[in-house]
């Protein structure tokens, strides 16, 4: 019997992906995930983490300036730079982010042509709300989706389990 779990809406789906992406974050002070979406298509994902090749906060400690860790690029910046390095046009995309973007990220998102921000959590005082308002970028605040992933091989009659002991012989 297939369990009758509610199928997530598109907004829940992309927010849930953002939650999953945040699991890759490397700064213990904050875990953020960002998913850039256009026409229901994921363009790129990002989480807050160090410059590629550099040490991670969780290994070497944070670099604190004015009570903020500055070692990492934020999730939103990393999603935008993913697009920059792969030649993906972000203009007109939506940004699904686990947390309200900071001032710096709000400016980058606006400059990248992002037209809507969807979040389920706020951030401490920043100028982001004001910048988004001036740029006519709406901020949609939704409840946090159920974080569980419902996947049980036993539910699906077509699925055949892999016997890893045999595979590794």
Task: Kindly identify the residues of this chain, within the stretch 62-81, that bind Zn ion according to CB under 5 A.
Answer: 62, 69, 71, 74
Counting runs of H as helices and runs of E as strands, what totals does the chain give? 6, 9
Q: Does 117 bind Zn ion (CB under 5 A)?
A: no
List the beta strands (DSSP E) in 18-93: 33-38, 41-47, 49-50, 64-65, 68-69, 72-73
Q: Give burial (CB, 10 Å; 0-12/13-18/19+) of 1.
A: exposed
CB of 55 to Zn ion, least distance (A): 10
Residues with catalytic annotation? Answer: 76
Of 12 and 79, nearer to Zn ion (C-beta) is: 79
Of 16 and 74, nearer to Zn ion (C-beta) is: 74
Q: Does 139 bind Zn ion (CB under 5 A)?
A: no
Distance CA 112, CA 80 (A): 7
Of 14 and 47, nearer to Zn ion (C-beta) is: 47
Of 13 and 104, nearer to Zn ion (C-beta) is: 104
- Nearest CA among 28, 18, 7, 23 for reference residue 117: 18
101 near 117, Cβ under 8 Å?
A: yes
**Contact mark string toward Zn ion, 86..115, x via CB under 5 A:** ----------------x--x----------
CB of 169 to Zn ion, least distance (A): 44
109 near 95, Cβ under 8 Å?
A: yes
Name residue, tokens 């229901």.
40
Q: Does 27 bind Zn ion (CB under 5 A)?
A: yes
CB of 82 to Zn ion, least distance (A): 15
Task: By CB under 5 A, name the binding residues for Zn ion.
Answer: 27, 57, 62, 69, 71, 74, 102, 105
């Amino acid at each position: 019997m297939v369990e009758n779990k509610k199928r997530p809406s598109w907004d829940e789906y992309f927010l849930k992906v953002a939650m999953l992406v945040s699991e890759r974050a490397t700064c213990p002070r904050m875990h953020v995930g960002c998913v850039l979406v256009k026409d229901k298509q994921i363009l790129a994902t990002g989480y807050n983490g160090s410059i590629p090749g550099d040490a991670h906060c969780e290994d070497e400690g944070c670099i604190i300036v004015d009570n903020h860790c500055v070692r990492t690029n934020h999730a939103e910046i990393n999603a935008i730079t993913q697009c920059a390095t792969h030649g993906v046009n972000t203009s007109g995309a939506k940004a699904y982010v686990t947390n309200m973007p900071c001032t710096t990220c709000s400016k980058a998102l606006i400059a990248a042509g992002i037209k809507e921000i969807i979040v389920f959590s706020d951030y401490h005082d920043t100028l982001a709300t004001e910048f988004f308002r001036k740029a006519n970028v709406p901020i949609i605040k939704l409840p946090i989706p159920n974080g569980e992933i419902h996947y049980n091989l036993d539910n699906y009659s077509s699925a055949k389990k892999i016997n890893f002991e045999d595979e590794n012989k």
